[in-house]
Amino acid sequence: MTDRPLTLMAVHAHPDDEATGTGGVLARYAAEGIRTVLVTCTDGGCGDGPGGVKPGDPGHDPGAVATMRRQELKASCDVLKVSDLEMLDYADSGMMGWPSNDAPGSFWRTPVEEGAARLAELMRHYRPDVVVTYDENGFYGHPDHIQAHRITMAALEMTALTPKVYWTTMPRSMMRRFGETMREFGEDMPEPDPAEAAAMAEIGLPDDEITTWVDTTAFSGQKFDSLAAHASQGENIFFLKMGKERFGELMGVETFVRVKDTAGAAVTEDDLFAGLR
């Protein structure tokens, strides 16, 4: 036994990503006395600016946006009771195909080995028992999410640590419910073109391929508030439109695929720390 606390490390791409896929587990495990470490890889500079000004439009200042989003991220971490926030501060790469993908200093352009070495140093410092990040496609194909996956898996190879490792995902049954809810709260939303609809249909996994279902219902209010802390991006955060009660009904479970395990925990499991306590 050791006095070192059990530790969860979540590796995310941008400010606000911590809330969407892992806000519930960060809040739940913090409440259970587990150390929660959030690593945010980019500065979020390709987000919306004040007044909703978009990247590339006149008046959009990536540096000012990054400063604003750092403050929002800290507020979100306060809501979720995150123990430790680490920012790698790479430049936000923007969506796939944007010119910002190849801008000097962008996360997408950074050699994987460089980012992984920095993350491995943090892993050696915090010695996480559980590491959470995205799958190979970054869940939906965002370049910074893909790069976060790459550096996380490479960093694990650089260390002698043997944490349980998870990738965030979503059951297809829940994706269907999301689609219905989005239509309910966004009646003027245009129908996606066939290619976009086909891509959306591939997001997430069949329910029976998901290894880990964590009940975070009791913490859905904190998760909502952590999303709301990212007020500058409110136009892009669909979930805020539905209100806390409906949000809690829809977002009360967070789901993952377990990809590495040395604890011998059975699947299906309902606890990222199964076998560790």
The answer to the question of residue 172 being in a domain is yes
The answer to the question of residue 267 being in a domain is no
The answer to the question of residue 265 being in a domain is no
The answer to the question of residue 271 being in a domain is no
The answer to the question of residue 156 being in a domain is yes
In whole angstroms, how far apart are CA 139 and each of 102, 205, 214, 273? 21, 10, 18, 23
pTM to 2 decimals? 0.91
Q: Which long-range contacts (CB under 8 A, 24 or more apart) does 50-54 make?
A: 50/232, 52/235
The answer to the question of residue 165 being in a domain is yes
Give the angle subtended at the CA of 106 by the CAs of 103 and 101, to the nearest 5°. Answer: 60
The answer to the question of residue 92 being in a domain is yes
pLDDT at 201: 57
The answer to the question of residue 269 being in a domain is no
Q: Residue 33 phi/psi, 5° resolution?
A: 90, 10
* 128/122 Cα distance (integer angstroms): 9
Q: In CATH, what number is assigned to the domain containing residue 13?
A: 3.40.50.10320
- Which residues does residue 84 pair with via DSSP β-bridges, in sequence order? 37
pLDDT tens by residue, the chain, 277 residues = 457 899 999 999 999 999 988 999 999 999 999 999 999 999 999 999 988 899 989 989 999 999 999 999 999 999 999 999 999 999 999 999 999 999 999 999 999 999 999 999 999 999 999 999 999 998 888 999 999 999 999 999 999 999 999 999 988 887 677 666 666 666 455 555 555 555 555 678 889 999 999 999 999 999 999 999 999 988 777 778 888 888 888 889 999 999 999 888 999 999 999 999 9
Angle of the 243-250 helix axis to the 220-228 helix axis, nearest 10 = 120
**Residue 97 belongs to domain spanning:** 7-260
How many domains in the chain? 1
